[in-house]
Amino acid sequence: MSDLSEARPAAIVRGGEGAPSSLAGACVGDYVAILKPRVMSLVVFTGAVGLVLAPRHLDPFLAAVAVLCIAVGAGAAGAINMWYDRDIDAVMRRTSSRPLPAGRMNPGEALGFGVVLAAGAVLTMGLAVNLVAAELLAFAILFYVFIYTVWLKRRTPQNIVIGGAAGALPPVIGWAAATGGISWGALALFAIIFFWTPPHFWALSLYRTGDYEAAGVPMLPVVAGARETKRQMLLYTLVLWPAALSPFFLGIAGWVYAASALLLSTIFSLGALRVWREEGERSARQMFAYSLLYLFLIFALLLIDRGSPVPW
């Protein structure tokens, strides 16, 4: 990666001070952008899978409301994250064109937008669906904002590992929306995303190390080096095997899913092994792309090859 240190502001401070001020009014596309729609799409999909796989079922209208609340809550967390991280986003090439660092949106607009959406999503979930799902949604938003964004991201290379819990909660929220509680089936879906997250994000950070180093974000490749990052990526893909197979053992999915999950997980681990052996960024880029496909296929297969619902 090219050295971005020359582009770094004289003082990057926590909370976004020093980021460019808004030069013009934000357009609709900017408001959509700060919701992180690509991230939201995976959140919505996994949340909907959790809702469908649950042993009880919601009225279709309430199910749609629950999925919408999950989507809006995820977007709200993304907006608040962009508000807080606008200083480091201005430094990193991958994020410098976002509405806040590019000066197309006032920081107060982004924060207010996120807070209003978060409150609306949680309140709607609680009033229309159930309190357990609403509490989990609130916890996921608060965890992502305060634990990951504010506390962990700029302090520890384990930011992705611990902070990944927020991204793993949507299927649990969907499950709770349908059942009013949490069970082993929901925790199995949580575990898949939780153990998938580190190799997914570390693959990205391997070929974006220069960005993170310039911004002062202690991602694992910056702190521990590429070799240690690659080793941990491989270990996490191996831990992912039993997590990916747990829906089969719990009766949520059948043999087709089990065989497919085993194959997909094997390819994931082989990709991590290739990253560990090879120099350069090509293999890391390919692993990052495959990781997205992996998660989508795992959850799609759970829908396709449903087993006997878990009775607890």
- CATH code of residue 295: 1.20.120
Both 197 and 291 in one domain: the answer is: yes
The answer on 141 and 47 residing in a single domain is: yes
306 strand-pairing partners: 253
Write the burial class of residue 195 (CB in 10 Å: 0-12 exposed, 13-18 middle, 19+ buried).
Answer: buried
**Last-in-domain residue among 127, 159, 191:** 159
Task: List, in order, residues 6 or more apart from 103 with CB less than 8 Å away.
Answer: 20, 21, 22, 23, 24
Q: Are residues 299 and 213 in the same domain?
A: yes
Domain that holds residue 273: 183-312
- 197 & 236 share domain: yes
Segments in the chain below pLDDT 70: 1-25, 307-312
On the 0-12 / 13-18 / 19+ scale of CB atoms within 10 A, 193 is buried
Alpha-carbon distances of 236 from 161, 196, 199, 242, rounded to whole Å: 10, 7, 6, 11
58 & 102 share domain: yes
Are 224 and 144 part of one and the same domain? no
Instruction: Name the amino acid, one letter, at 95.
Output: T
Q: By three-state DSSP, how is residue 309 classified? A: coil
Q: Contact 162/218 with Cβ under 8 angstroms?
A: no
Per-residue pLDDT tens for 191-200? Answer: 999 999 999 9
Q: What sign does the CA torsion over 251, 254, 257, 259 have?
A: positive
Residues 102, 198: one domain?
no
The CATH code of the domain that includes 93 is 1.10.357.140
Q: 216 and 141 share a domain?
A: no
The four Cα atoms 121, 31, 44, 262 give a dihedral, to 10 degrees, of -140
**For helices 282-304 and 255-277, what crossing angle results, to 10°?**
170
Tell me whether residue 16 is in a domain.
no
51 domain-assigned: yes
Residue type, position 271, single letter: G
Residue 299 lies in a domain: yes
State whether 215 and 291 are in the same domain: yes
Question: Looking at 159, 194, 223, which one is the last position of a domain?
Answer: 159
* Sequence-ordered list of residues with C-beta below 8 angstroms from that of 108, at least 6 positions apart, any chain: none
* 65 within a domain of the structure (yes/no): yes
Contact 214, 3 (CB under 8 A): yes
Number of domains present in the structure of the chain: 2
The answer to whether residue 164 sits within a structural domain is no
- Residue 212 included in any domain: yes
- Residue 6 included in any domain: no
Domain shared by 140 and 262, yes or no: no
Q: What is the pLDDT of residues 192-240, one digit of tens each?
A: 999 999 999 999 999 999 999 999 999 999 999 999 999 999 999 999 9
Contact 165, 154 (CB under 8 A): no
Are residues 190 and 141 part of one domain?
Answer: no
* 9 assigned to some structural domain: no
User: Phi first, then psi: what are they for 253, rounded to 5°?
Assistant: -130, 160
